[in-house]
Amino acid sequence: MNIGQAARATGVSAKMIRWYEQQGLVPAATRSESNYRHYSEGDLHRLRFIRRARDLGFSIKQIAELLALWNDRGRASADVKALALGHAAALRQRILELEEMVQSLGHLAEHCQGDDRPECPILERLAAPVAA
C-alpha cells in the first residue's frame, strides 16, 4: 500500500505521514525498489492511533509517550491515565483562559453602540492610559 492510500485509509495526510516518520513517531516505512514507501496493516493501525490522539489534542511528544506505553505490554494503566488526565487538566486551563477573554470582550462590546458614530468604548479601553 502506497502512501496516498495509507493517507486515505487513516485520515493522516501523506505530508504528515512523512513528517511523523522524520520525527521518529513512526518507524521508517519499508521501500519498494523504486523507493516508494509502503505500508502494512500494522502501520495503518499505528497511524490511526496517532490520528485519534491528535484529535484529542495530544502533542507529538505526548503521542510518542502514548505509543511507547501502547507497545509496552507490561505498562501500568496508571501511567496512561496520568498522561490523559494531565492533558485534560491542561486543556481545562486553556479553556478558562479563553473564557476570560470572551468575557472581557463581551463586557467591552456591551458598551459599544456599534453604529456609524466613532465613539467606541472598546478602543477606549484598549487605549486607556494606565490600568484598564
Partner DNA sequence: ATGGGCTTTCCCAATATGGCAAGGTCAAGA
Partner DNA sequence: TCTTGACCTTGCCATATTGGGAAAGCCCAT
Q: Interface mask (CB under 8 A) for its own copies, residues 33-72, using x and -?
A: ------------x--xx--xx-xxx--------x--xx-x
66 is a contact residue toward DNA (CB under 7 A): no
Q: Interface mask (CB under 7 A) for DNA, residues 22-61, using x and -?
A: -------x-xxxxxxx----------------x----xxx
Among 7, 100, 16, 24, residue whose Cα is nearest residue 64: 24
Rounded to a whole number of angstroms, the minimum distance from the CB of residue 101 to its own copies is 5
Q: Kindly tell me which of 28 and 114 has the beta carbon lying closer to its own copies.
A: 114
3-state secondary structure the chain: CCHHHHHHHHCCCHHHHHHHHHCCCCCCCEECCCCCEECCHHHHHHHHHHHHHHHCCCCHHHHHHHHHHHHCCCCCHHHHHHHHHHHHHHHHHHHHHHHHHHHHHHHHHHCCCCCCCCCCHHHHHHCCCCCC
27 is a contact residue toward its own copies (CB under 8 A): no
> Which residues here bind its own copies, judged by CB under 8 A?
45, 48-49, 52-53, 55-57, 66, 69-70, 72-78, 80-82, 84-85, 87-88, 91-92, 94-95, 98-99, 101-102, 104-106, 108-109, 112-120, 122-123, 125-129, 132
